[in-house]
Structure 1
Amino acid sequence: MTRRHRTVNGSLDLADQERLVTAFMQIDGMRRRRTRDLYVTLLEDELGRHLPFDRHEEELHDVWSLVRACLTTTGAIHALAGVLERIHRGSTPMTGLNAVVAELVPEPLLTPAESRDLHRLVSALERGGGAASPYASVLPSLYRRAVGPVGPVPDHDVRSIREAVAHLEQVLQGADGVPPLLVLVHGLAEHAEGDTAAAVRDWARRFAERSGVDPARLAGPERPALPWGLAPDESAQAGTYLTVECRHDGAGTDSLMVTAWLQKGTDPGITLRSDDEPLPRALLPVLLGELLADDPEVVNRDDPDLVIEFVLPRGLFGFAFDQLAITVDGLERRLGVDYPVVLRSLDRLRRGALHHHWRRKWTRLRDASQDGEVCWVGTPGEFDNQWLYARLLQPSASVLAMAFPPWGDTPEPVDELWVGLQAGTPVIAWCRREEPSDHLVKQVTALLATDPMTLPHRLLDLRRQAALNGPGEHPGLDLALLFDDADRIPEPYQRLRPPT
């Protein structure tokens, strides 16, 4: 079995990079070196800085190198698309490129002009920097105040304003709705002097106006300062996760493309298995047993608790992953009896347009879980899809429960699970029995209506009880749980989310 131990970098995978490159290559001028060089010059003017990348004689390789450089520079992909838009506006290839960029690359927090101005101000603030910089002693506390309860929390103290800005330029807003970058810049203005201080305050004022943020909210003395490495919301962020992505290996096969990585809270992830080779579905329990019992990263983790997440496309939700039988040192047990096992939607993680409702619904569930309501669907097609979608968009509708398993593995026709994902529903549960009894329905409804945020661990307890008592009328072995924590998007998909 092919395995690699490396830090997950969160960049687009090769397939998505290829989609971007192919879309850019559809633009006529991108296929010619001379006009491509002109586009790069215009892009650098837009960014306000040089964009280094390796050049190649082969056109495809040169465009691929340019795209990879843009992906590592905040806002560069959108800026390049903007340059092309001015020249090729309205063309069919341009429309296609815009669609691919919108799907794969989150909108940057700052416009190119705002980013240029900010980086010029950063250079002015850091002039004569290093240990002698007047910001060296106050920058860590300013950063922590800006970050508040959302992160990102680096694995070291920030050492420069430029580094702090680089962290926060990718974060759209904090839990209180204020972009942490704006709080940081406002704090820097308080310590700046002369014309630079005035320019920094003016930048913060203009950005606040565009963002619709009341300047009075920027001081934020109540924003908690957290030590590096401490996750602010332990219910959502803390813990250790073994995340396993499974995808079909093409049509008509019973093999899966499997990637597995270990991640503690929001720390960088460690890839345990890459999807270089398809894995027969029957060998998935063997792989899981090896990871859990033999992989040194998993075995030697600091946190004894471990949540297992399966990231799945629609067509795999009908498979009972929590009931997989793993064997460790000769003893067989169900995976869902050993660990909390939850499912996550690969389609929603990859579809940026679905993130807005999801983020909004999750935030409400997290902050007011006692007010959540369960939307129960007893039979397939019981409700019109448009009615169900509108019902699930209601703020109080936090959980979708289905008395039947999902079946949809293609875009058409739409099933209830896909309606729930589109509506942003963060918690979706279903019974794998085709015809659950009224008693079982009441048990499941009561389970889901009580503190949805603790569902993964409460369901673990139920699965253990069911293993003791036998299936019968116990929901433990028949209930599947999709639990999509929008505060803890697995690191490889960070690139696919609107920055948060």
Structure 2
Amino acid sequence: MITSLNVDDQHRLVEAILRIDAMSVRRERAVHLSALERDLGHRLEYVQHDKEKLDVWALVDALLNYPGAAQALVRILQTFYPNSLSVRALDELVTELLPEPWLDQADRRELHELITWLERADPGLTHLGRFPMLYRRAVGPAWPTLDREIRSMHDVVALLEEMPAGAEGTPPLLVFVSDLAEDAGHPTAPALRDWVRRQAVAHGLDGMFLQRHRPSLEPRAEPEASENYLVIECAPDALEEARYLVTAWLQVGREPGSTLQCGDEALPLSRIPELLERLLTSERSVVGRRSPDLTIEFILPRALLDHPFEQEKISIAGFEHRIGIRYPVVVRSLDRMRLAAVHPDWRHKWEWLSGNSVDAPVCLVTRRGEYDKEELFSHLSETSKTVLALAFPPWGGANGETDEHWVGLLAGIPVVAWCRDGRDPARFAREAKGLLAEDVMKLPRRTMELRRQALSGGGEGAGTAHLGLHLTLVFDDAERIPEPYVRLRSPA
């Protein structure tokens, strides 16, 4: 560790943090540390202690291990408590004791997020096998080898950031990340190369670094834009009924999702449109996405599967409209994500559907009780049974009973569609046949078109009875599981 303090100065930092009321109690401190981790782009690992002072001492140790972490904590506390004298005192102490880091907050967070992508794309951490060579090449012979076990690249990147430039004026961190890009797989490698190029220009390197590393930094052909997914999870709050811990991710293609909102406060459903509007209009990573395509996915518990989220309205420049006519909106099952026992069937059916999505057979259930539950489960367990259409809404979610919809999810069916207000069997059969007749993988976008038809007067049953106003679509990609759930396989 390059940044270190003597015992007296570290004790001053500990006391300054403890004098802030919200940081003196573990439970409240955890909320701010969660925000800090999101700001940093990685976990802040340290051994926690029962005694408050020892716990904060360990926290300060962790802050000193990561450039900019102490400054980031001060920024977060200033946001929460802008007029606090104790927060101001901590700010002054951090300014006195710790130098300004080399990278700014946004660039550092971007790098740590790229490192996280790399580690998640390689769950076995096989990339660490080449780490000693990359580290030695970056630091040169003047620095000793690391004598500790390497478990993550985050602390290594933090260490390299604090190392001064070598004889040629090249920061070791840039050399390391440049070489790491050569070992990283697509699509992480182009992003790492781009990050290095931008840092070299921003810090006014004299061109020698760019010349020496031109083969690795040469811009590559841009890959085709990937689909963007705004994922909203609503997890039931254990203490307050009818409130939910809401977490939001932005996921690009099959990359790991980046967290946009963490469920620290339990929200009523009435607050979801407000959150959606903020994410869709103000969140930089969403607004600035490279591809205009965006699918909104709601990860929901059973009791919420029938909620008409696609009918929620947002306002843009004073124009209010339903999100379901602007974006494809689909539902995913939170309970199934948490139920590892059904993942193999779910994954197997999704794989089959991915290769046979044109004219995939559909299991149509038009009447409640049409099948005995075990008979339905047996029927849906066939490999080719991947799409389930029901003319009626789920009824067992609130009381935990088994209904046809839940049987379908337990059988691993990845695509389930139903009419929320119930439907005449013959009419629903016609509507479902038209909706599901083509490539099932394009169903989210066709469903959006159906919702548009409902408001433009097109199609059967135009007006309030139009299926587009009452259709719920579960479209559950078994290969794209957002964090924090266990990924079923490494990304393609």
Shorter-chain TM-score: what band? 0.5 to 0.7
Deviation at 1:152, TM superposition (A): 8.4
RMSD between aligned alpha carbons?
Answer: 4.4
Pick which of 456-465 and 271-280 moved more.
271-280
Seen in structure 2, the aligned counterparts of structure 1 residues 480 and 9 have a Cα distance that, compared at 3 Å, is farther
Q: CA deviation at 1:385?
A: 1.6
Structure with greater Cα Rg: 2
Matched, 1:434 2:422: yes
Partners of 1:120 and 1:324 in 2: how far apart?
46
Residues 308 and 122 of structure 1: is their aligned pair in 2 closer, same or farther, counting only changes over 3 Å? closer
- Taking the aligned partners of 1:358 and 1:156, their CA distance within structure 2 comes to 34
2:392 matches 1:400: no
Give the aligned partner of residue 63 of structure 2: none
Q: The residue matched to 1:453 in structure 2 has which SS?
A: helix
- Find 2:271's aligned residue among 283, 287, 293: 283
AA aligned to 1:477 is L
Q: Does 1:463 align with 2:451?
A: yes
SS of 2:232 mapped into structure 1: strand
Residue 495 of structure 1: aligned partner: 486
Q: Residues of 2 paired with 1:369 and 1:279: CA distance?
A: 38
Distance 1:123 1:496, change over 3 A: closer
Quote the residue 1:210 is aligned against.
none
C-alpha distance in structure 1 between counterparts of 2:369 and 2:395, whole Å: 12
C-alpha distance in structure 2 between counterparts of 1:411 and 1:152, whole Å: 45
TM-score by length of structure 2 reads 0.56
CA contact (8 A) 1:4 1:271 kept: no
What code does the residue aligned with 1:420 have?
Answer: G
In the other structure, the counterpart of 2:410 is 422
Q: Is the 8 A contact 1:241 1:263 kept in 2?
A: yes
CA distance in 2, matches of 1:152, 1:352: 29
Aligned residue pairs, count: 331
1:474 aligns with 466
Give runs of aligned pairs for residues 294-443 of structure 1, distance below 5 A. 294-370=282-358, 372-409=360-397, 412-436=400-424, 438-443=426-431
Q: What is the CA–CA distance in structure 2 between the aligned matches of 1:485 and 1:7, rounded to whole Å?
A: 29
Q: How is 1:47-58 mapped onto 2 (pairs within 5 angstroms)?
A: 54=47
1:444 equivalent to 2:432? Answer yes
Which letter maps to 1:414? T
Residue 224 (structure 1) aligns with: none
Matched residues, percent identical? Answer: 39
Residue-by-residue CA offset, 1:40-82 (whole Å, 9 max, x unaligned) = xxxxxxxxxxxx9748578xx99xx9xxxxxxxxxxxxxxxxx
The change in CA–CA distance for 1:55 and 1:483 in structure 2 (over 3 A counts) is closer
Contact 1:312 1:343 (C-alpha < 8 Å) held by counterparts: yes
The CA deviation at 1:442 is 0.8
Aligned partners of 2:397, 2:428: CA distance in 1, in Å?
27
| Structure 1, gaps ≥5 residues long | 12-51, 66-105, 133-137, 158-226
Give the one of 272, 277, 280 matched to 1:292: 280
Relative to structure 1, the CA distance from residue 301 to residue 496 in structure 2 (aligned partners, 3 Å threshold; closer, same or farther) is closer
Counterpart pick for 1:266 among 236, 254, 272: 254
**Against the structure 1 CA distance between its residues 4 and 463, is the aligned structure 2 distance closer, same or farther, given a 3 Å change threshold?**
farther
8 A Cα contact 1:286 1:327, kept in partner: no
**1:8 to 1:374, Cα distance in 2 relative to 1, 3 A:** farther
- Asked whether the 8 Å contact 2:181–2:192 carries over to 1, the reply is no
| TM-score, structure 1 normalization | 0.56
> Per-residue CA shift, 1:227-255, capped at 9, x if unaligned?
89848xx8xxx311111111233477333
Residue pair 2:359, 2:437 contacting (<8 A) in 1 also: no
* Structure having greater relative contact order (Cα 8 Å, sep ≥ 6): 1
Q: Where does residue 71 of structure 1 map in the other structure?
A: none
- Note if 1:485 corresponds to 2:477: yes
Query: What aligned pairs does 1:234-253 form with structure 2 within 5 A after superposition?
Result: 238-250=226-238, 253=241
Aligned partner of 1:427: which letter?
Answer: V
TM-fit CA distance, 1:262: 1.8
1:331 & 1:127 partners in 2: Cα distance?
54
Deviation at 1:473, TM superposition (A): 5.5
Change (3 A) 1:277 1:445: same
| Preserved contact between residue 311 and residue 322 of structure 2 (Cα < 8 Å) | yes
1:344 match: secondary structure:
strand
Report the secondary structure of 1:261's partner residue.
strand
1:68 aligned residue = none
